[in-house]
């Protein structure tokens, strides 16, 4: 399990960027070195501890630093379960580090393709357009690397490029949102590098902008009249603005005889599932767009009702997640305490004669043992702190909704308007 996890992590980071790969490889090497130094004087983690740490990586983090720390901890634990590497394996590790250091300084093929696309979309023939682009990356290291690459290519001058990431100062985040939402004639920013799908980019204070409006046909057996369906990102925020949950929700209604009749959740899902790739005629599209202002409030109300219903349904799941996280933390730290105590009472360690040991080595061993004793005493209080932090993070969850698109569904018989 340990080897598979480290290899999978390195592969994911390599697919993201050379910088993300290099950072994780460096952490792996550091863990190998420290594991060798403390081989006879500190605890060896169990596979159960590693599994719980891997499970925690699937949680949603509102702070990139916290997510990265959790990943580093899991890599460190996995590495300490490795056997001692051979000379050949250490040589291969050295080669990978050398390659990574060189790759970080180069622009890989994916970045080159991105640069070509940005140049065509945002700056054809060297002249900036009013188009704007959001580039998402999973890791902060990749974001920083991309920022450097794009700056080298001349995409960051004059405040053309901004970044957004989990855990950034709230005032800075608001400033970035304001700049990206302002008219291109006022704000020069054209590129936003983000490490997460931060739906807050889109204003919710009376300026909800639709990212996409589409019109598609559905079979006559599914709908007798046109339907208007809104899509929104639902984000549930916990304590300290920690993001607990995120998903896309939909709601809508049928447009019949000038009225908006709200559809049930299942009806919306069935209609969207039956949607075809074909579009209605231009005249029908224009008719539908003309109807939007009249029914916009009804559509918004349907979406808000769906948000409330879905949030209520999530309460139990969030409570179960909170309980599981608290239980996992307690189990991990309890297992760690047990493992340390076993090491402290290891007969082989207690029967060491220290024959041939230098005074400094004996003193270092005693310092290490004392540090382990202190660690054992600290664990109960750490369990209390960590479980209290989980409780605070899941306390009073609040929903936030960010509309992103509207889809008009038209029965095939009305395709031409």
Picking from 137, 161, 167, the residue whose alpha carbon sits closest to that of residue 147 is 161
**Are the CB atoms for 350 and 366 separated by under 8 Å?**
no
pLDDT, tens digit, for every residue of 235-285?
Answer: 898 876 778 888 999 999 999 999 999 999 999 999 999 999 899 999 999
Question: Torsion angle, CA of 317/66/341/331, rounded to 10 degrees?
Answer: 0
pLDDT, tens digit, for every residue of 15-32?
Answer: 889 999 898 888 888 877
pLDDT value of position 387 = 92
Task: Please check the confidence at residue 198 and state whether its pLDDT lies above 60.
Answer: no
Residue with tokens 């207690």: 350
pLDDT, tens digit, for every residue of 345-400?
Answer: 877 766 665 566 777 877 887 888 888 899 999 999 999 998 998 898 898 899 99
pLDDT value of position 120 = 92
pLDDT value of position 62 = 65
pLDDT value of position 313 = 92
Listed in sequence order, the residues at least 6 apart from 87 whose beta carbon sits closer than 8 Å to its beta carbon are: none
State how far the Cα of 415 lies from the Cα of 287, in Å rounded to an integer. 11
**Are the CB atoms for 249 and 306 separated by under 8 Å?**
yes
State how far the Cα of 338 lies from the Cα of 344, in Å rounded to an integer. 10
**% of the chain exceeding 90 in pLDDT:** 40
Task: Please check the confidence at residue 199 and state whether its pLDDT lies above 60.
Answer: no
- For domain 109-201, the CATH architecture is 3-Layer(aba) Sandwich (3.40)
| Better-scored residue on pLDDT, 243 or 148 | 148
Task: Please check the confidence at residue 207 and state whether its pLDDT lies above 60.
Answer: no
pLDDT, tens digit, for every residue of 87-120?
Answer: 888 888 889 889 988 988 888 888 999 999 999 9
Place 202 in a pLDDT band, splitting at 50, 70 and 90: very low
pLDDT value of position 200 = 42
Structure tokens at 96: 């990978």
pLDDT value of position 37 = 52
Place 9 in a pLDDT band, splitting at 50, 70 and 90: confident
pLDDT value of position 227 = 97
Buried b (16+ CB within 10 A) or exposed e, 22-55: bbbbebbbebbeebeeeeebbbebbeebbbbbbe
Instruction: Provide the mean pLDDT of the chain.
Output: 84
Domain range list for the chain: 1-106, 109-201, 209-417
| Better-scored residue on pLDDT, 54 or 187 | 187
Task: Please check the confidence at residue 209 and state whether its pLDDT lies above 50.
Answer: no
N residues, the chain: 417
pLDDT value of position 414 = 93
Picking from 42, 120, 27, the residue whose alpha carbon sits closest to that of residue 79 is 27
> What is the largest distance, in Å, between two alpha-carbon atoms of the chain?
96
């Amino acid at each position: 399990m340990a080897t598979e996890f480290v290899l999978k992590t390195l592969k994911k980071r390599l697919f993201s960027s050379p910088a993300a790969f290099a950072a994780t490889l460096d952490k792996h090497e550091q863990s190998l070195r420290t594991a060798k130094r403390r081989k006879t004087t500190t605890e060896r983690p169990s596979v159960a501890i590693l599994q719980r740490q891997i499970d925690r990586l699937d949680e949603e983090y509102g702070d990139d630093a916290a997510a990265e720390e959790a990943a580093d901890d899991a890599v460190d634990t996995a590495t300490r379960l490795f056997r001692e590497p051979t000379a050949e394996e250490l040589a291969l590790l050295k080669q990978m580090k050398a390659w990574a250091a060189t790759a970080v300084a180069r622009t890989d093929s994916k970045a080159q393709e991105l640069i070509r696309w940005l140049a065509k979309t945002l700056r054809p023939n060297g002249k900036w357009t009013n188009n704007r682009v959001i580039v998402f990356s999973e890791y902060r290291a990749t974001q920083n690397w991309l920022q450097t690459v794009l700056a080298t290519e001349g995409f960051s001058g004059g405040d053309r490029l901004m970044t957004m990431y989990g855990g950034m100062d709230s005032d800075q985040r608001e400033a970035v949102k304001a700049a990206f939402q302002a008219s291109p004639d006022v704000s020069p920013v054209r590129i936003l590098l983000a490490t997460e799908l931060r739906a807050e980019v889109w204003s919710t204070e009376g300026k909800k902008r639709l990212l996409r409006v589409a019109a598609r046909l559905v079979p006559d057996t599914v709908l007798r009249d046109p339907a208007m369906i809104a899509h929104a990102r639902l984000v549930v925020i916990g304590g300290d603005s920690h993001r607990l949950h995120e998903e896309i929700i939909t709601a809508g209604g049928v447009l019949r005889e000038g009225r908006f009749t709200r559809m049930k959740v299942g009806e919306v899902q069935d209609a969207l599932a039956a949607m075809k790739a074909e579009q209605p005629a231009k005249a029908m599209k224009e008719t539908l767009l003309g109807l939007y202002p009249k029914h916009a409030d009804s559509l918004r109300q349907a979406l808000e009702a769906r948000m409330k219903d879905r949030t209520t349904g999530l309460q139990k799941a969030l409570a179960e997640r909170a309980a599981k996280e608290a239980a996992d933390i307690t189990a991990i730290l309890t297992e760690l305490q047990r493992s340390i105590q076993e090491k402290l009472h290891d007969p082989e360690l207690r029967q060491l004669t220290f024959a041939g040991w230098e005074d400094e080595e004996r003193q270092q061993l005693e310092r290490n043992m004392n540090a382990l004793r202190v660690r054992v005493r600290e664990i109960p209080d750490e369990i209390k702190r960590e479980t209290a932090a989980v409780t605070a993070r899941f306390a009073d969850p609040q929903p936030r909704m960010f509309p992103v698109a509207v889809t008009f569904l038209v029965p095939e018989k009305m395709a031409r308007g």
